[in-house]
Structure 1
């Protein structure tokens, strides 16, 4: 009985204590303390961020870059393309009839003139036919001369004179036909050149249309290459060009032809450069680098290291405007020389950043300092060594 009373008394005490705690309202402060601290933390974070932004702005404003305003001059745009040499004229000679080779007066490497005999097929019957036609013509000519004398004296009728003239004309036609048939057994040089190949031998038989010789005209030698559609507008016939051969020789020539029909596969245009080659020292089929000199344009020379990429991926340079803010100018590459890049499309008064351009972006405010000439030369030398 006493034990029951103790448990009952303990439960009543606990119930009273719990009711008193609820009535005090202290349980509501469990999450309120952290909620109250959040604005203070956010305020501290905002203060921290504001301080960081201010530091970054101060850093950008105080960033020192080295600039230069390079001199401007006229530069001929250099367009370099790969190509090869080829003969100005090339002919593969073939026979018009079949037969046995009776004469072969040339060999590989011989120089020939237009009309020189290259090959003669056996033609005994045709030679006889020509001789008979000549004899007949001589006879018919004599008969005509006699008939004309008689006609002048009145001792020959006009009809007989006409018959003599007709017979003489027929003899002329017969001789022409015989000589033409004989000429079909001959192969002659169509132009001045060098005999490059003779795939037949004296006494061998050839069929009609068979190849018997190849003749090349190597003066001038032609350097042929393909120019891009972007560079086409800078070229015209008559422009000067330099051709560097694979063996190190350099020759000068003139643009003689620019195709107006692009290749469907590469979208490039064929260009031909005529190079004097009187001694024939430059062969056909040799690899060559063609440097085309287009019309001069105003440009500046700068180290390769100044070229960078803009926000849109364009190739260009960074410069400083009148308010010491960084601006970007796309460039036009005119030439690449050991002294540096020849660049067009840059305003005349631009202060170009030559050191520190990779650490700033468009719109940044910087502190420009004039670059030392020795430093610019060193940048150009370092860029040249890096390119090598």
Structure 2
């Protein structure tokens, strides 16, 4: 027979033992937590920050022209190769010109005939003038001869126009470069038949390039207000940096020149144009990159990311009061730069737990160890050193 009283007694002893162990552990934790934890503490100072901001841009040549055939014909010669630099007026292609040469010859013959007829009409007018002066014939015959002379002179004008048109058509068989530039792909080969309007190649002038980037309406308004306040000058953005697709900085600065006239429907953005020199031909038409410009933020604070923690999409730091007790404080970042949050809403002199935030909790007392700005913002200093020719990135200028 099972002795239920013994079983009940056994379980009571086990539960009592567990509770006693937990109480002893709790007292031990309280004893350990009663000693203030030593943590590094950063004192916040308001700063004026030139914060870099990037925009995706499209790179285009200052001149990009499609070279198309103006007349029909077979490709007799190709004088250049793809990727070759050509000068303005240099011959690129030669189309067959036999039919057009015949048109020029016929037009020349017609003009010669018209001039001969006009000459004969002119002599007839002179002859009739003599007869009219001697009253041998009436003046009506002279007027008729003058009319014939006018028709002959009109024929000369018409045939001269036809000849000029034929000569122009013949000249179109030699396709020349419209300006100094680089030859793009050549789709037609020697012997190919081309018709008027066919694309022969593209010519690009990349001695300089345009970089187009888009900003939203709020950024546009901020830019225009700052420009108006400065009397219409763009001193802060006359030299902009270009980040290439491989992440490296382009060694030459660009100048903001102009913007589009209207906002783009659907996106609500407007494009700005920056001109960059391209002396070594590194940039090509159709390439992509990022425009980097700096925005000045005043009376803000830099909070190291390791000094923060996140709960349900909200960011928090641990603040210290005058008694070195911890208080949880939430904040909303304005921007994120490298491993720092740019924020406002704090006061100069506020102290936050710099690192080791997992060792503390709200309401506990800590033993603070001051952290210098050089230690706190070491990563930011390294970022500036690695930046090629920074655009006034004096990110730590105190107010």
Deviation, 1:291, is 4.5
Once the two structures are overlaid, the 10-residue window that deviates more, 158-167 or 118-127, is: 158-167
* Residue number in structure 2 paired with 1:22: none
Q: Is the 8 A contact 1:303 1:380 kept in 2?
A: no
* Residue number in structure 1 paired with 2:353: 353
* Residue number in structure 1 paired with 2:251: 250
Match of 1:326 among 319, 325, 328: 328
Match of 2:193 among 199, 206, 221: 206
Once the two structures are overlaid, the 10-residue window that deviates more, 346-355 or 320-329, is: 320-329
* Residue number in structure 1 paired with 2:294: 294
Deviation, 1:148, is 12
Alignment of 1:85-124 (within 5 A): 85-124=59-98
Q: Is the 8 A contact 1:316 1:331 kept in 2?
A: no
Q: Deviations over 1:230-262 (max 9, x none)?
A: 988777897443224439553322456579448
When residues 68 and 372 of structure 1 are mapped into structure 2, their CA distance, relative to the original with a 3 A threshold, is closer
Match of 1:78 among 36, 44, 52: 52
When residues 98 and 327 of structure 1 are mapped into structure 2, their CA distance, relative to the original with a 3 A threshold, is same
2:243 maps to 1:241: no
2:275 and 2:216 map into 1 onto residues whose CA distance is 20
Root-mean-square deviation (CA, aligned residues, Å) is 5.3
Deviation, 1:138, is 6.3
So what's the TM-score if we normalise by structure 1? Answer: 0.62
Alignment of 1:274-293 (within 5 A): 274-284=275-285, 288=289, 290-293=290-293
Q: Is the 8 A contact 1:147 1:164 kept in 2?
A: no
Greater RCO (Cα-Cα under 8 Å, separation 6 or more)? 2
Q: Is the 8 A contact 2:214 2:271 kept in 1?
A: yes
* Structure of larger gyration radius: 1
Secondary structure of the 1:67 match is strand
2:317 and 2:115 map into 1 onto residues whose CA distance is 90
When residues 166 and 382 of structure 1 are mapped into structure 2, their CA distance, relative to the original with a 3 A threshold, is closer
Q: Is the 8 A contact 1:65 1:366 kept in 2?
A: no
Secondary structure of the 1:326 match is strand
Secondary structure of the 2:253 match is strand
* Residue number in structure 2 paired with 1:30: none
Deviation, 1:377, is 1.0
When residues 98 and 135 of structure 1 are mapped into structure 2, their CA distance, relative to the original with a 3 A threshold, is closer
When residues 228 and 79 of structure 1 are mapped into structure 2, their CA distance, relative to the original with a 3 A threshold, is farther
2:320 and 2:112 map into 1 onto residues whose CA distance is 97
Alignment of 1:136-151 (within 5 A): 136-137=110-111, 140=114, 143=118
1:117 and 1:137 map into 2 onto residues whose CA distance is 30
Match of 2:159 among 162, 168, 171: 171
1:311 and 1:145 map into 2 onto residues whose CA distance is 105
When residues 160 and 269 of structure 1 are mapped into structure 2, their CA distance, relative to the original with a 3 A threshold, is closer
Match of 1:133 among 103, 107, 111: 107
When residues 168 and 226 of structure 1 are mapped into structure 2, their CA distance, relative to the original with a 3 A threshold, is same
2:67 maps to 1:67: no
- List alignment gaps of at least 5 residues for structure 2: 1-15, 130-138, 228-233, 384-399
1:144 and 1:347 map into 2 onto residues whose CA distance is 99
Secondary structure of the 2:240 match is strand
* Residue number in structure 1 paired with 2:184: 196
Q: Is the 8 A contact 2:42 2:376 kept in 1?
A: no
When residues 109 and 176 of structure 1 are mapped into structure 2, their CA distance, relative to the original with a 3 A threshold, is same
Deviation, 1:89, is 4.1
Secondary structure of the 1:102 match is strand
Deviation, 1:276, is 1.1
* Residue number in structure 1 paired with 2:342: 343
Q: Is the 8 A contact 1:64 1:366 kept in 2?
A: no
1:296 and 1:242 map into 2 onto residues whose CA distance is 16
Deviation, 1:293, is 1.0
Q: Is the 8 A contact 1:133 1:174 kept in 2?
A: yes
Deviation, 1:353, is 3.1
Deviation, 1:212, is 2.8
- The number of residues matched between the two structures is 331
- List alignment gaps of at least 5 residues for structure 1: 1-40
Deviation, 1:179, is 3.5
1:287 and 1:241 map into 2 onto residues whose CA distance is 15
